Structure 1
Amino acid sequence: MKKTDIILLTGLIGSIIFSNFAGFEKKLDKIEHEVLRMHILANSDTEYDQNLKLKVRDKLLENSDEIFGGCENLEEMKIRANEKLDEINDIVLDVIHANGYNYTAQTQLVNMEFDAREYGDITMPAGKYDALRVTIGEAEGHNWWCVMYPPLCIPAAEKVESDEQAAEDYFEAEELDIMKNPDKYEVRFKCVELFRGLKEKLSK
């Protein structure tokens, strides 16, 4: 085979591989942009502070209909969350004070990095997600998180239906396969991680 043919063949193979992983990255981007997460960070890892974190969680989920009732899509959820940050933070503070603590609390709508996390029958891929983030006190303890949109938090908390069934109502088949069978995509995940790291370095 001629040298020019080898170069052309190598370039073609490289283009196919790049196209494959670029397409996979687009699917991951789509998942990230379809989701609003809740992220609650405890004051510390003591048993008391971790229990307090869960009480905050329970109260926020209990009030989710009052806060987000009528929202029909992700954009409406984010707008409502941003409008009600003070109200949500007041709920958090009420729980803190009712349990005899004087911690401060902060509630924000942020875009933050998450590691890959299992959630029931699905695994949310690592990436940057919009999140309703609640920090309690020094915020040095382990966190609790869930998916607010699609509304997986409530089914998981009340065991109304499985996370899998709730997810199937919102995500496309290819997205669900990525989340249900992450091991099958391990190499692609690693390539996307490297690809994103390279893009970040080049953008600086």
Structure 2
Amino acid sequence: MIEDYEIFRNEQPQMKRSPWIELVMALVLIQTLLFLLPVVSGAADAVPADAIQIRVIANSNTKEDQQVKSLVYQEIQPLLQKAADTFQTTAQLEQELTQISTEISQKAGIITDQSIHISLAKALIPAKTDGTYFYAQDFHKALIITIGSGKGDNWWCALFPKVCYQEEEEVVEEPVKFWTWDWIKSKF
């Protein structure tokens, strides 16, 4: 005969987790990991770390001063392009930009009576995006051309116009749809 065994029962009810709660917790975990991981973009390849950027700062934000800024850039752009095409190393380019800074001042002085201050130094370049790349705000070596008091908004669109002025496309706005809400409505 088989001996009787004592059966132990767990008197506490067992709680089961809902699969929906587990799904939500997994999604929150994945979203947190994606948020915490650094975004790898090709922007590092788009603009080399040792590249010299051009900053043109207007006297103020008035339309006239912004127009002067644009005219100054158009006037000095061939000088900058010639210097960039001539030299292969950054050190050579820095020397050339230092040498042609007086010529840049003279050409800019033809356009405006305001003082022109030119310096080659590390400058804070604001964050920009061009649709495919994100350029983080950082300090870069830059040729800074300040017109007058330099109180106008800074831009570096002269070298990268796609970054600041993206091509406008006609956008047809569709009503926002939430598939979960549509699914719930279809059930009732």
- Please give the range of the TM-score, normalised by the shorter of the 2 chains: 0.5 to 0.7
From 79, 91, 97, give the equivalent of 1:63.
79
Q: Matches of 1:120 and 1:58 in 2, distance apart?
A: 26
Q: 1:33, CA displacement in angstroms?
A: 3.4
> Secondary structure of 1:75's match?
helix
Q: Is the 8 A contact 1:35 1:130 kept in 2?
A: yes
| 1:128-139 aligned within 5 A | 128-139=139-150
Within 5 Å, give how 1:46-125 maps onto structure 2. 46-96=62-112, 102-119=113-130, 121-125=132-136
Q: Distance between the aligned counterparts of 2:58 and 2:100, measured in 1?
A: 21
Aligned pairs for 1:26-37 within 5 A: 33-37=49-53
What number of residue pairs does the alignment pair up?
122
CA distance in 1: counterparts of 2:145 and 2:129, whole angstroms: 20
- Quick one: which of 54, 57, 61 aligns to 1:45? 61
- TM-score, scaled to structure 1: 0.51
Of 129-138 and 77-86, the range deviating more from structure 2: 77-86
Deviation string 1:104-123 (CA, Å, 9 cap, x unpaired) is: 11111011222212357533
Partner-residue secondary structure (3-state), 1:88: helix
CA contact (8 A) 1:40 1:135 kept: yes
Following superposition, the deviation at residue 62 of structure 1 comes to 3.0
Structure 2 residue runs of 5 or longer lacking an equivalent are: 1-36, 164-188
Preserved contact between residue 50 and residue 141 of structure 2 (Cα < 8 Å) = no
Higher helix residue share: 1
Counting aligned pairs with the same residue, the percent is: 19
Aligned pairs (5 A) from 1:128-167: 128-146=139-157, 153=159
> Closer, same or farther in 2 for the Cα pair 1:53/1:129, shift >3 Å?
same
Q: Unaligned regions of 5+ residues in structure 1, if any?
A: 1-19, 97-101, 148-152, 164-204
What's the Cα RMSD here? 3.0
SS of 2:111 mapped into structure 1: helix
